[in-house]
Structure 1
Amino acid sequence: MAALAIGAAPIRRDAQIETALRQHVETLASDDFGGREPGTEGETKTLRYLARQWFDIGMESGTNDPAHGWFAPVDLVEREPLSFRASFTRGRKRLILPEDAGLVVTSGIRSLVENAPVLFVGHATGRVPPRTDLAGRIALMLDSGRGEDGADGRVERLLDGGAAAVVTVLDGKRTIEDVIARRRRAGYALAGERLGDEIEAFVSPGFAESLLASGAAPGALAGSPAHDLAALRREADGADFAARLLGVTGTLEATSRETRISTHNLIGKLEGRNSAAGAVLLVAHWDHFGQCAQPPAEDLICNGAIDNASGLAVVTETARLLSRGRTLDRDVYFLATTGEELGLLGALAFAENPPLPLDRIVAVFNVDSTGLAPAGQAVSVIGRGATPLDDGIAQVARMMKRKLAPGDGANAYMKRQDSWVFRQHDVPAVMVSSSYTDAARLEAFMDADYHRPSDEARKVQYGGMVDDVLMQAELVRFFADVRRYPGGAKTVRHTP
């Protein structure tokens, strides 16, 4: 009987944590919160709910700004593509780009490039042509299946190198319909951030063929250089390829509609014994997509239960555990970010206007999309090998008799969540979670429920979330203890 009584306390504790986690997720991911879209009534309900929970736990405001207790304003700019026109001229022949064969977008409100020479840059995977070659010219680039919408950095490098615009010739793996569906969506940035007026365009292979053929002299052989897309591809694949002018000029124009969105980060704090010793920061994003489907679909709301009502619940219950223990050496800040789904913008706003100097933050633990795994799973570290935190995390895992998943496969998700922003500001930041250990389970969520109305509370596994609460609490206790973690090792190993 005595042995049973010893084990009963952790069992009751875990059951209480699970009950609280379930309540948070079912509330935050309910239709009543409308999908927690920034700038809506769903935001108001979300932040009021969280602030009430955090206040009752015993937190104080962490904004360190008397004018904005608890809620730190974040002003966003939404830019939605509105219209475009494009034409290309070779000699006396002018081709107008039809709307079903291409797309032109701008990062500004209105951008125009007129009668600019077209420079063929091939796959643009190697060294960028000299600025003297790119300046004032339109770079024509082959898609090559090497990246989605410039995600591999080629477009950015060409624009930074001086190109007036970049036109991508699609390769058939991505259709123009795919690009239009993706790039017609609104883009977001922090208000005041200079977006520039850069132009990016996409054209179908068929239009590119017409453009090249328009310059063919009477009697020219099919496949002759510059008059056939296949020949252009072969040229780009050559070991001695060099960018060259095509004898074509282009005019590109694009406009956008701009909307301002006022939203907020929520910041709380459990004060430590020695604020001068620095702080530990726990983060979870509160935002999601609101209504993300259209009739006749029956379910219209992206409730975001796993992504990321689960993370908010874990951070909240971690705070509750910490508040019931002894006062820690370091301050512990709690941050619920806005705009994560729009490009990690809430985390960026915090980093650019922090309530304490960033170099005083010794460790950041982000919690995002937990609730995928049952209890008892191994723990993954997203950011493993990239910060000075690894040894301390390993010590905590051993103390808790938790197994760390081998390898760094979970690092595939490093750039897709808020801790990445802190890493770019030289603050050690990771995610530690059991939900990223089983790759098959994680991919099944991504394929079936991620950013869809089906991400609902009924699918959440709370056993793994309880494990994550206990792990987060011990991590904070370790890194907030100046004897166990003196700090000062602020070097962050950047991972490209």
Structure 2
Amino acid sequence: MRSIASICALTMLTACSQHPVTVSTPVNVTFDESRFRQDIKTLSSDKFEGRAPTTKGEQLTLDYLSAAFEEIGLSKPNGNDYLQAVPMVTYTASDEQTIRLGDLALKHRQDVVLGSRHDVANIDINNAPLVFVGYGINAPEYEWNDYQDLDMSGKIAVILVNDPGYALPNSGKFNGKAMTYYGRWSYKFEEASRQGAIGAIIIHDTKPASYPWSVVENSWTGAQQDLVKSEEEQAQRVKVEGWITHDIANQLFDSAGLSLATVSDRAAASPINLPLNQTASIAFANQAQYTDSYNVVATLPGNSRPDEHLLFTAHWDHIGVDSNKEGDQIYNGALDNASGTAGILEIARQFAKQAKNGHTLARSVTFIATTGEEQGLLGSRYYASNPIYPIDKSVAVFNLDSTNIYGRTTDYTIIGKGKSELENYLIDALKSQNRVAKSEKYPESGGFFRSDHFSFAKEGVPAVFAGGGSEPVDEATAQYKAAMKLKMKGCYHNVCDEYREDWDLSGALEDLAIYYQAASTLGNNNDWPGYFADTEFNALRPAGDTLEQASQ
């Protein structure tokens, strides 16, 4: 392993200097790499205990962010503090579970992960029929309904991950290789609930899921947060939801006299549902606790149109601590997403510094560090439904989630590229760095639906999730990236996502500059970007609209 000193000597990268980095923007701005690095290091330290919502780690995080925004000089939206309460309920399923699918007695965590979003002391399901419902999709616009003519009352849906476009990318179905929202786990549980099922179980498969079983085991066990729902909403939710391994699914289908591979092919070709002629019995203890968590919201008011807001978002939360693990039990979440949270702090400092020098934007800039992203975008969903500033006066969202630790690149990734006019501001800003914008390398992972910007997109606010790239700026950076990729392999939602002194943050700083420059331009003009005609959000805020049209 090379030391940070040897990497610097080899690559001559500015981030290695441990001094402020100046980047090209409309007004000369200095991003402080050492301060950015320290924020990441502190937020992801063991002291913060993995930053799980409603824990000691949350309080430490709220205090840290509030103090930072106070020092920067940003306004408190509610006048008293920077906090927006997010009513949450924490569900904890016991690790002692009795689960039988057909003739298979399953082991919790090893074979299956199940939980419940119901405020009941015990889950006790006996002999519930299992029904294979393909991809579990009901999408009239695609002429697709896996639940056609099916009564799911008292039954458990068994569902494939992703959507038919992934399996048949050249068929014209859905969006080809790029995942649609119908491929997301959250949608599948919601749709099974709407169909009246008592349970929903997704078959895990690493490639179409885009993550290994370890992510399921680490992310869906232990305390699970959700937004507090009405009694009616909660009553409609499936009683149990979760995942089984692909190997267990193969055995289950074999017992039903079916081939999982064969029925999966059929499910990709056309809607399907069929009984597995087997039942499930599931029992475990369950707890529900109600506690507020918090978004942290801070604003730099605009000088002439302060009611119009540009939003920067990054989730401060991670998975917390798992006392059942041997060895390291803390999910520090350094890359995901202490790095993004540190990013909005650094951008906020630059806007505030420029404002003090007389360069305040016409529009306001608001920074939102969200809670509960790892549990289903909870904080951003709550803000989008209960905005401090009106959604129809929210001009755009710039989201930071897991910034670039792999060095500078000649390209720049826009997740879900082609969604909105907001992307044009990024593309224009890239010219100052001689970089080009590209789509993500693996659109089948559904990245556009997996972070906080999506909560705002569903409300019609143009939102981008961008940064990094796949082409290193030179051979030395390529070698560093390859070595660091090996070190970070398997660390997504795992305890090894820890801060590393040898991270090259020069690429992350360049990405911050792109966001800063794009927001600076949009913050001083009269543009009101919208979604392009061929996107699912066009009807909410069409491209080409004026402010008055967008607000209607």
Q: Same fold (TM over 0.5)?
A: yes
Structure index of larger Rg? 1
Q: Deviations over 1:456-496 (max 9, x none)?
A: 1414322123213322221221110125xx21646783389
In 2, the alpha carbon distance for the partners of 1:26 and 1:135 equals 49
2:216 pairs with 1:188: no
Separation of aligned partners in 1, 2:462 and 2:214: 41
Matched, 1:33 2:66: no
Judged with a 3 Å threshold, the aligned counterparts in structure 2 of structure 1 residues 477 and 49 are, in CA distance, closer, same or farther, namely same
1:345 corresponds to 2:384: no
Q: Does 1:409 align with 2:441?
A: yes
Summarize deviations over 1:257-287 as a string: whole Å, max 9, x none. Answer: 2123432111111111123661101112212
Q: Which AA in structure 2 matches 1:429?
A: A
| Equivalence for 2:548 | none
Partner of 1:138: 155
Partner SS state of residue 60, structure 1? coil
After superposition, the Cα gap between the structure-2 partners of 1:189 and 1:434, relative to the gap in structure 1 and judged at 3 Å, is: same
Matches within 5 A, 1:274-423: 274-275=304-305, 278-292=308-322, 297=327, 299-325=328-354, 326-375=359-408, 377-398=410-431, 400-409=432-441, 412=445, 413-423=447-457
SS at match of 2:438: coil
Amino acid aligned to 2:151? L
Q: Structure 2 CA distance, aligned partners of 1:229 and 1:285?
A: 45
Which ranges of structure 1 fall in alignment gaps of 5 or more residues?
A: 1-7, 89-94, 213-227
Task: Give 1:158 shift.
Answer: 4.4
Q: Is contact 1:113–1:165 with CA below 8 Å preserved after alignment? A: no
Give the TM-score of the pair, scaled to structure 2: 0.68
* Aligned residue identity for 2:435: K
Shift in alpha-carbon separation, 1:444–1:177, aligned structure 2, 3 A: closer
Partner SS for 1:406: strand
CA shift digits 1:143-178 (9 cap, x unpaired): 699899983955654443334445678999999999
Deviates more, 1:169-178 or 1:353-362: 169-178
- Specify every segment of 5 or more residues in structure 2 that has no aligned partner in the other structure, as ranges: 1-19, 138-143, 167-181, 473-477, 539-552
Q: Counterpart amino acid of 2:457?
A: R
- Equivalent residue runs for 1:131-170 within 5 Å: 131=149, 133-138=150-155, 141=158, 151=185, 156-166=190-200
One of 495, 510, 514 as aligned partner of 1:453? 495
The TM-score, its normalising length taken from structure 1, stands at 0.75
1:122–1:338 Cα change, 3 Å: closer
Match of 1:73 in 2: 85
The percent identity for this pair of structures is 25
Contact 1:282 1:333 in 2 (8 A): yes
Q: 1:280 to 1:206 in 2, by over 3 A?
A: closer
Q: Is 1:122–1:140's contact at 8 Å kept on the other side of the alignment? A: no
Query: Are the counterparts in 1 of residues 531 and 537 from structure 2 also a CA contact under 8 Å?
Result: no
SS at 1:308's partner residue? helix
Deviations 1:381-426 (A, max 9, x none): 224211221222222222x234123344375422222112111221
Q: 1:208 to 1:310 in 2, by over 3 A?
A: closer
Matched with 1:107 is 117
Q: Mark the CA change 1:378 to 1:302 in structure 2 (over 3 Å): closer, same or farther.
A: same
User: Which moves more between the two structures, 12-21 or 459-468?
Assistant: 12-21
Q: Deviations over 1:197-227 (max 9, x none)?
A: 43458694697589x6xxxxxxxxxxxxxxx
Q: Which amino acid is the alignment partner of residue 447 of structure 1?
A: K
